[in-house]
Amino acid sequence: MGSKTYGTFVVETNDEGFMTNFQQWNKDIAAAIAKQEGIAELTAPHWKVIDYMQKESAAKGSAPSIRAMTKSGVVGTKEFYDLFPGGPAKKAAKIAGLKKPVGCV
């Protein structure tokens, strides 16, 4: 376990850079993680996905997979990949301050 600094915030992370304490998460940290992940700006569609992922994680104990996200009706497969290129479920979960989704490599 380690930590990462985003602006003035220091957060606890695991070896893969996922936050280990969701209570430390905020929108400024999300924006900083997004930039680090190659997303210049979080738009309304990004926030819709992030909000849904956080609600599902709180209800079920883990972030939804790609399949679960695209079946939810919140976002289609192509849009999900466009919003979070290069591993959408993993990248969206990281930005949302969640653990890596089960089944992500």
* Residues labelled catalytic: 104
H helices present in the chain, as ranges: 27-36, 44-60, 66-71, 77-83, 88-95
Q: How does DSSP classify residue 22? A: G
- SS3 assignment, position 42: coil
Beta-bridged to residue 15, according to DSSP, are none
